[in-house]
Amino acid sequence: MLKLGVNIDHVATIREARYRGLGHGEPCPVAAALAAEAAGAHGITAHLREDRRHIQDRDVWALREKIKTRLNLEMANAPEIISIALKLKPDIVCIVPERRLEVTTEGGLDVVAAEKSLAETRKKMNDAGIEVSFFIAPDEDQIAASARVGAQFIELHTGKFAEDFHDAAKREKELRRLVAGARQAHVLGLKVNAGHGLNLENLPALFAVPHLVELNVGHSLVSRAVLVGMDAAVREMLAVMQTYRHP
């Protein structure tokens, strides 16, 4: 069964637009996480950025205490955040690139360029009982490096697929890259997640990609929840995901 991880970052984005620096405010990302769980989500994802632009430290600690499913902490490979993760003990960390000027994480992690540092972080996390994923483009060298480093998962960056979705030729080209990447990762013993830009419209096409374990979806779910509520938004997406038939 294909699993759904609900990214609640943009719930915190809405809160911080009005209540930044106040230590309280609405909407509550933890309440959103609990609603997503109640609707059937298999896990909750939150990105504790170095600049704390949306999710705050208090949010991740409250999530660790209150959610019953799998907590996926997205994080930069940065000493401060590594230290927090080792104390927090999420079920899994997904290491992502971070750039201060981006609105959200826009590119894949360069595992090849940071292999030694990432291997050290991977070992620290695994020694603490935390699984490790790398958020990467469907690139042969990056997937091979992820396996060498010893990650348990990769999360394939589907942003280009989503951006090119309405251009059939470009969409099919990126889809072929994702399919090849997933197959390569599977052969190398990596479990395969995917995320970025996924929504109800483009999911059926993505299902050509084999070996998917979990999709991490944030913006489209939060956007839909504004209109129909988190419960309905999650259930709609889970209904579409039930059609996934790859191993």
For the annotated catalytic residues, the residue numbers are 47, 74, 196
DSSP letters spanning 89-154:
--SEEEE----TT-SS--S---TTTTHHHHHHHHHHHHHTT-EEEEEE-S-HHHHHHHHHHT-SEE
Rounded Cα gap, residues 125 and 223, in angstroms: 33
Rounded Cα gap, residues 72 and 86, in angstroms: 13
Give 32's contacts (C-beta < 8 A, 6+ positions apart).
6, 8, 11, 222, 225, 230
Q: Is 210 exposed, middle or buried (0-12, 13-18, 19+ CB in 10 A)?
A: middle
Q: Positive or negative, the Cα torsion across 145, 136, 154, 68?
A: positive
Amino acid at 205: A
